[in-house]
Amino acid sequence: MFKKSVEDLLNRQVEREGNSAVLYLSMASWAETNSYAGIAEWLYAQAEEEKMHMLKVIRYINERDGKAVIPSFDKPPADFDGLKTLFDQVLDHEKFITGSINEIVAETIKENDFSTHNWLQWFVSEQVEEESSVHAVIDRLNLVGDHNLYIFDRDIMSMREEENGE
């Protein structure tokens, strides 16, 4: 049985995944206009993934006979205080999203909704990967330092490809 409280939290997640997508799009645009082509590519790809996450939740709500409601999204900031701050913001945001997924998981346990609980496991694993890939980016950024950002920008997409086994 699909409970209203679970449906409401999933609709909240639709909004949050959409907010993630627009935040990363804005970051990508900032990076592109600041001549960080590789970082922009990484962030555009991240925004695409967030859109896919949002769609996944929308389709699931409707499949369970609920109703996915498409919200308006928060206007993201247009400017960022440099790469280090930007990726710290990405990490904080991903931790927030992990917490949000965990709250839905907890609600499915409370409501004995084992199907949704099972379906959510994909998101649980995905959040582990998302946080770890941002951690890896921050580590690399710290390693190369401010004077080698050209190398960081050149290499960031290959980090993503390695993670995806490409």
**Residue 131 or 149 with smaller CB distance to ligand OFO:** 131
Judged by the rule CB under 6 A, the positions of this chain that interact with ligand OFO are 17, 20, 50, 53, 94, 97, 130
Looking at beta carbons, which residue is closest to ligand OFO? 20
What's the length of the chain?
166
Alpha-carbon distance of 30 to 113, in angstroms, equals 42
Sign of CA dihedral 18, 55, 91, 86: negative
Smallest gap from Cβ 43 to ligand OFO, in A, equals 12
Q: What is the dihedral of CA 133, 137, 138, 141, to 10 degrees?
A: 170
**Residue 20 or 108 with smaller CB distance to ligand OFO:** 20
**Residue 105 or 149 with smaller CB distance to ligand OFO:** 105
**Residue 15 or 17 with smaller CB distance to ligand OFO:** 17
Contacts 24+ apart (CB under 8 A), 157-163: 157/38, 157/41, 157/42, 157/45, 159/133, 160/42, 160/45, 160/133, 163/129, 163/133, 163/136
Smallest gap from Cβ 145 to ligand OFO, in A, equals 27
Smallest gap from Cβ 112 to ligand OFO, in A, equals 26
Smallest gap from Cβ 53 to ligand OFO, in A, equals 4
